[in-house]
Amino acid sequence: MRAKRLWLFGAGAATLCLIVLFILISRPADVGQSHFFKDQSYHYETLRLLGTEPYGGADTEEVLETIKHIRAGDAQGYYKAWSATAERTLALAERTRDAQSKGGACLRAHSYFRVAEFFLPPSDPKRSIATQKNLSAFYDGLAALGVKCERMEAPYGNGYRLPMNYYPAEAQNRKNTLLVFQGGYDSTLEELYFDLVKDAHDHGYDILTFNGPGQGLVLTEQKLPFTYEWEKPVSAVMDTFLAHHERPKKIALIGQSMGGYLAPRAAAFDDRFDGVVAYDVFFDMGEAARRFIPKPIFWMRDHGMTGLAESLINWKKSRSPGTRWALDNAMWTLGKEHPLDAIDEFQKYSLAGVAQRIKCDVLILAGAEDHFIPIEQVKQMQEALTSARSVTTKIYDRESGGAEHCQMGAPTLWHATLFDWLSEKFEVNAEIQSQEGVH
């Protein structure tokens, strides 16, 4: 009996050791994760915010402490978490005496108020509250930091006004090129400061930013939706700017995200631009937009099954926060009441038959794993630029850190490409021409 008990004890101990060994072997390795959220839209917006950190728009631990309170798809919870961080950061600014620290806290508070409203429905009244707070924090931050910013408005259309911010470079290291920088589908005028203005200013470039129809306060306060004829608002902006400022030797137009269509479209009809940058490529918005809706749904709509088509769209929106946001934002910014009408409207936003008119230098940027734009659009745009003075293309892969749409989370990558391109095309060439006596 004693031997049996000893045998059972030994067998049990051996079994326990095997179980412990199995647990240790099967435990997943403690490795870093490449995504903050499984949902791509919530992950991407986190990257977007962290990408502003090198230029004062965020602080890493403030971001990480906030997102741990957020559940993907919960727009109200997203607003609550980011608003709390924004208020806390703004309170820090208010009790800080050092001007640099105060200004930095204001700019970060601005960013957090901006992202707080991002996923809210367009009709949510909390949007306007967050907007007013982010605007106040932004301009208070610039003032504390001593950043020169000339605020202007360009008359447009029937009584509309397009807001513009001009950031002149310091005289001692000023380049001979003006950068005109614009956003796209969802960016704000003030956010552009972190996306490029700060770094461009440090490089000695004058930089002009603006919002057109469908963007920022032009949309929320003036209720003016997008236009595919983007040369019209750009013309109004340039006319206003040049009426009050000396014309620079060179002007480059840079379009971010949807601006990858908008900026080249404007450059095709305005010969005042010496260069245009598609950051990132956006050759055909209609093609990109249709990826959010399965083809059978269009067939149903076109064959009279509208109710069924809308039910399927609503089901897809309920399953995908990114799809819900993209379609709601499309209807809002394009002035359409139904998702499929917005997708149809996007068919007008194509550079086919337009890109051939562009005669200036062109820089095309792209992320190899862009979740918005098919990488095939790079080749489409390259082949269409038959009249361009030069075409330069840069595609960023996953290993580089720039594979996301607009290299989100890794702005230093595309900045390095941009400033090298600007130097080569405008600074070096201008110096050579001056030495050769070419005017």
pLDDT tens profile 223-242: 999 999 999 999 999 999 99
Number of folded domains in the chain?
3
In a domain, 56, yes or no: yes
How far apart CA 34 and CA 239 sit, in angstroms, is 45
**Residue pLDDT, tens place only, 49-102:** 999 999 999 999 999 999 999 999 999 999 999 999 999 999 999 999 999 999
What is the structure's pLDDT at 218?
96
How far apart CA 208 and CA 253 sit, in angstroms, is 9
What is the structure's pLDDT at 21?
57
pLDDT one digit per residue (tens) for the chain, 439 residues: 555 554 444 555 666 666 655 655 666 667 777 788 888 889 989 999 999 999 999 999 999 999 999 999 999 999 999 999 999 999 999 999 999 999 999 999 999 999 999 999 999 999 999 999 999 999 999 999 999 999 999 999 999 999 999 999 988 888 889 999 999 988 899 999 999 999 999 999 999 999 999 999 999 999 999 999 999 999 999 999 999 999 999 999 999 999 999 999 999 999 999 999 999 899 998 888 887 777 888 778 888 888 888 888 788 878 888 888 888 888 899 999 888 888 889 999 999 999 999 999 999 999 999 888 999 999 999 999 999 999 999 999 999 988 998 898 899 999 999 999 999 999 865 544 444 444 3
How far apart CA 280 and CA 300 sit, in angstroms, is 33
Residues 209 and 119 in one domain: no
In a domain, 14, yes or no: no
Parallel, antiparallel or unpaired: strands 177-182 and 160-167: unpaired
In a domain, 6, yes or no: no
Parallel, antiparallel or unpaired: strands 177-182 and 206-210: parallel
Token output for 231: 């040369």
Residues 167 and 141 in one domain: no
In a domain, 340, yes or no: no
Of 113, 147, 181, the residue at which a domain comes to its end is 147
In a domain, 4, yes or no: no
Residues 185 and 118 in one domain: no
Residues 246 and 183 in one domain: yes
Exposed/middle/buried for 9, CB within 10 Å: 0-12, 13-18, 19+? Answer: exposed
What is the structure's pLDDT at 117?
95
Residues 175 and 304 in one domain: no
Of the candidates 151, 177, 180, 145, which has an alpha carbon nearest to the alpha carbon of residue 164?
Answer: 151
Residues 158 and 136 in one domain: no
Under 8 Å between Cβ of 42 and 371 = no
In a domain, 433, yes or no: no
Residues 199 and 111 in one domain: no
Residues 239 and 115 in one domain: no
Could you tell me the end-to-end alpha-carbon distance of the chain, in angstroms, rounded to an integer? 108
Residues 190 and 128 in one domain: no
Helix (H) or strand (E) segment spanning residue 288: helix 285-289
In a domain, 24, yes or no: no
What is the structure's pLDDT at 439?
39
What is the structure's pLDDT at 372?
86
Max Cα–Cα distance, the chain, nearest Å: 109
What is the structure's pLDDT at 145?
97
Residues 104 and 46 in one domain: yes
DSSP state of 195: I
Of 335, 364, 396, the residue at which a domain comes to its end is 335
Q: What is the CATH number of the domain that holds 90?
A: 1.20.1440.110
**In this structure, which long-range contacts are made by residues 36-40, counting pairs with CB atoms below 8 Å and at least 24 apart in sequence?**
36/67, 37/67, 37/72, 38/72, 39/72, 39/73, 39/320, 39/321, 39/322, 40/322, 40/371
In a domain, 343, yes or no: no
Of 147, 175, 206, the residue at which a domain comes to its end is 147
Label residue 78 left, alpha or beta by phi (over 0 means left) and psi (-120 to 50 means alpha). Answer: alpha
Residues 246 and 326 in one domain: no
**Residue pLDDT, tens place only, 274-315:** 999 999 899 998 888 887 777 888 778 888 888 888 888 788
Residues 302 and 418 in one domain: no
Domain that holds residue 380: 150-284+349-427
Angle (deg, nearest 10), helices 75-94 and 60-67: 140
